[in-house]
Structure 1
Amino acid sequence: LSLIDKHRVELLGVSVMPGPQMAAGMEVCREIRKLRPHVPIVWGGYFPSIYPEATLNAKYIDFAVRGQGEDTLLELLEALRGERTFESILGLSYKDQFGFHRNNAERPMKGPDTFPWSPFHRLPVEKYLRPSFFGKRTAVHHASIGCPFNCSFCGVHAAYGRTEKFESPARTEAILRHLVDRYGADSVQFYDMNFFLSEEQARELMDRIAPLKLRWWCEARVDIMSRYSDETMQAIRRAGCTMIFFGAESGSDWALKEMQKGITTEQTLIMARRTREAGIIPEFSFVVGNPKDPERDTRETLAFIRKIKRINPDSEIIIQHYTPTPQRGSMYGDVDDKISFPTSPGEWAEKKWMDFTLRIDTRAPWMKDKTKRLIDNFEIVVASRWPTVQDIRAPRWGRYLLQTLSAWRYTFRIYTAPHELVLAQRFIDLRKPKRESL
């Protein structure tokens, strides 16, 4: 409040994702509206991009920025100053003078090179460099914006319109070099939806960042990387790549088609082998419980995970229940009529939907309790048999205990009631591998 009063703030902007961030943003905005009602409030980020109507249903939110927001926000400031109309701003949703919701046309996405660097000099960067499996001072970076693919369970394409634009390899190198030289970063996590697309661009970037001696993590697709040459895979490893996250999603090719994922199970197995040969740890994430036939999808996916582990025991396995995200089109599995989603931020912040968003309570009408228990129990056994290498806090004895307790269950496929593993995990406080949302 003191900052608002001191600097004559023209608007309050909040970036919002579903989950705890939204609940915290909602609480702050309610108070600001109550105590400083003259300050316009705008939400941006994934939540208003996917749910603009629900966003504007909140009385304390005046505007929603959909998709890429840099230019939209600047133009909104111009409109608030009377220099242009709200109707002229692409990517803006707002309430008109009569309270009706208006959704302007989408804003074409620009590439990162059209914008300046992040203003590192205005931020306490040192506070954001945290210890991780990859290093003592791990930074984060986005080398691209968006995603060109159309996975029907994902909310990213709803926000960015199936487009991904990369910054130049020279710019990525320059930013990383700045983080190393100025702030002492020794590792980095790339939060791009797809860090690798063009093999030629990948080779150039690897050649540029290899001298920085960084250890790093990224996300990629098995269909793209399975086509890369052995030389490119080795170049990626030499450049410091330690771990790659792959959305394998299912062990059923029919389910992958339902998801419009565009990959095959064979490509996932290829990358399990090729990452082992290259000395890179793969993370394979699965969305289990296809609504068309959740029992079959579960059965085939759990068997497929065991096959991956035979090929590459170092593979990190991430298992998630299918929790649908409302799309502008149709959700996969024909579940549109099976779930009634909230219509305002306040409803999304209720415990029921917060637990659903965070996958704490993933009950869905198409999933039998027996199948859900099987998925959960299998995950507990696998996580105990192979504790994630990313948990830098877990003691060696704790890892050994979990591996010993779970070995017989995994060997004999006995997943029912793993009470001893649940108790051991609570005692050891085992960290789960990286999780994704949206």
Structure 2
Amino acid sequence: MIILFHPRATKPRNCRLPLAILALAAVLEGREEYEIIDGNLDDKPVDSILSFIDSRKVDLVGVSCMPGPQMVAAMEASREIRRLRPHIKIVWGGYFPSIYPDSTLNAKYVDFVVRGQGEETLLELIDALRGKRSFDSILGLSYKDTFGLHRTNAERPMKGPDSFPWSPFHRLPVEQYLRPSFFGKRTAVHHASIGCPFNCSFCGVHAAYGREERMESPERTVDILKHLVSKYGADSVQFYDMNFFLREDHARKLMDLMMPLNLRWWCEGRVDIMSRYSDETMATIKGAGCAMIFFGAESGSDWALKEMQKGITTEQTLIMARRTRQFGIIPEFSFVVGNPKDPERDTRETLRFIRKIKRINPDSEIIVQHYTPTPQRGSMYGDVDGQISFPDTPAEWATKKWMDFTLRIDTSAPWMKRKTKKLIDNFEIVVGSRWPTVQDIRAPRWSRTVLKTLSAWRYALRIYSFPIELQWAHQFIQLRKPKRESL
């Protein structure tokens, strides 16, 4: 038996379908006996895993995790399983171990790391555990040899979603994952592609998956959505693709097929790509149910965007602010502020730029984060000239210092002056109060009125310092912050 474990990453009321685990389950279906344990639904996942270990012959426990709270949950569970059942092999996969494979293998309770796309690597690892092949022949695998030394095999070429079977939704209580959101009463999630062809220097996606994006065929995407609608009653969907609109011809075909489903949905796009789309295509996107698009605007400084290798311009962001307003789609613009080359200048210019976006399209949702690099391929330091030395173990990543770094609460960036960081934080609370997010469906109307009233004078006069009254109000109201729930 194979156990697929999805450690707890969020509150049960916010949980969504564990797509990474479902993708692995799809290739095991009909071939291996397996069980899925989701820590977002199971309050005692370790007990559940131990119960299967004691009642069945378990070959492997596969753990999928993202950085942050889920990594901590993965660490604690894996450590306990190793302590109580030391003979069980444990493999980690997902975003965190793909970026930090050596740090992950430094943990005594991790035997293998699957880097990047894991479906075929998992199947070959199972064969190797049964003596049918050697570990050094498995692409995308890192492991400890008989002497405890780390071995890292070559990368595995990525395949598109169409190369693998559908997720076995019947193996999970799907209804429990279709939660209310701004987009509908029963919101599903879906990944219609994998990877990203761009090379943003602060991002870890290409470090984990390389610089390719493989897209699912529009027909398959719509067939899966139809299944979620007819079988489970989904009325909305969030697409987790890094670039949902990579090609206009693909987008038009998909929109035409999606239109009869009457779904409201959210996705991510790029301003450089979508600024070139025709008005006809934009109207079709809106007509197919698109309610909100997330854009990584990143900076209000063209020089900073060039430093990031982002491949976009500030003018393209402004174009999409105008076009989304024209077509009635809410844009969600994310900024990573405080570029290491000149954080003070980047901060000043970006805050001015955000105000410009708000003048063009007041409905724009603004997400402000500190510039937080991740290691890139061939480098342990991202693009910050060795100013950050990342932790060597999951346990160190779990400390408050590095959890704050991961969650962008306080990166303690050596290039960032305290007053600059404070300006970013204060601006974030002022702009977030002046235009409270529409995505918190639990917040009463009066709470938004209070925040708007308290912050109006500060925003108008550009007085961001010491927003004590807003900090107090947010503690009392506890309005949802999109960037926290998107991690």
- Maintained 8 Å contact 2:374/2:381: no
1:66 offset after TM fit, Å? Answer: 0.5
Q: 1:436 and 1:251, CA in 2 relative to 1: closer, same or farther beyond 3 A?
A: farther
Mapped contact 1:54–1:344 kept (Cα < 8 A): yes
Residue 446 of structure 2, aligned match among 397, 403, 419: 397
Q: Distance in 1 between matches of 2:142 and 2:391?
A: 19
C-alpha displacement of 1:332: 8.4
Are the counterparts in 1 of residues 105 and 113 from structure 2 also a CA contact under 8 Å?
Answer: yes
- Partner in structure 2 of residue 370 of structure 1: 419
Give the length in aligned residue pairs.
438
Q: Which residue of 1 aligns with 2:279?
A: 230
Q: Deviations over 1:17-55 (max 9, x none)?
A: 111111111111111111111111100011111111111
Q: Output the TM-score relative to the length of structure 1.
A: 0.98
Aligned match for 1:46, one of 95, 98, 105: 95
What's the secondary structure of 1:309's corresponding residue?
A: helix
Deviates more, 1:66-75 or 1:340-349: 340-349
Distance 1:228 1:105, change over 3 A: same
Partner of 1:23: 72
1:57 partner amino acid: N
* Corresponding residue number in structure 1 for 2:156: 107
Q: Distance in 1 between matches of 2:410 and 2:206?
A: 25
Is this contact kept in 2: 1:284–1:315, CA < 8 A?
A: yes
Q: What does residue 397 of structure 2 align with?
A: 348
Aligned-partner Cα distance in 2 for 1:262–1:224: 10
CA distance in structure 1 between the partners assigned to 2:75 and 2:114 by the alignment: 16
CA drift of 1:326 comes to 2.0
Displacement after TM superposition at 1:362 (Å): 2.0
State the Cα distance separating 1:334 from its structure 2 match.
4.8
> Which residue in 2 is equivalent to 1:65?
114
Distance 1:327 1:436 in 2: 25
For the pair 1:152 / 2:219, whether they are aligned, the reply is no
- Distance of 1:395 and 1:49 partners within structure 2: 41
Distance in 2 separating the partners of 1:153 and 1:267: 20
Ranges in structure 2 where 5+ consecutive residues have no aligned partner? 1-49
CA distance in 1: counterparts of 2:422 and 2:136, whole angstroms:
51
In the alignment, the residues of structure 2 paired with residue 20 and residue 138 of structure 1 have an alpha-carbon distance, to the nearest angstrom, of: 23
Give the one of 323, 344, 354 matched to 1:274: 323
Out of 397-406 and 261-270, give the one that drifted further: 397-406
What amino acid is aligned across from residue 181 of structure 2 in structure 1? S
Cross-structure match for 1:286: 335
Q: 1:322 aligns with which of 354, 371, 379?
A: 371
Residue 137 of structure 2 is matched in structure 1 by 88
* Alpha-carbon distance, 1:97 to partner: 1.0
Per the TM alignment, residue 329 of structure 1 is displaced from its structure 2 partner at its CA by: 3.5
The one-letter amino acid of 1:298's match is T
Separation in 1, partners of 2:486, 2:307: 19
Identity %: 82
Shift of 1:337: 2.2
Counterparts of 1:27 and 1:67, CA distance in 2: 23
2:186 to 116, 121, 137: 137
Deviations 1:337-361 (A, max 9, x none): 2122111111111121111111122
Aligned to 1:429: 478
The superposition leaves residues 136-168 of structure 1 with CA deviations (integer Å, 9 ceiling, x where unpaired) of 000000000111100000000011111100110
Alignment match, 1:337 = 386
Match of 1:164?
A: 213
TM-score, normalised by the number of residues in structure 2: 0.88
SS in 1 for 2:259: helix
- Mark the runs of 5 or more structure 1 residues left unpaired by the alignment: none
- Please, which moves more after superposition, 321-330 or 204-213? 321-330
- Bigger shift: residues 253-262 or 342-351: 342-351
Matching residue of 1:194 = 243
RMSD over equivalenced CA pairs, Å:
1.3
SS at match of 2:179: coil
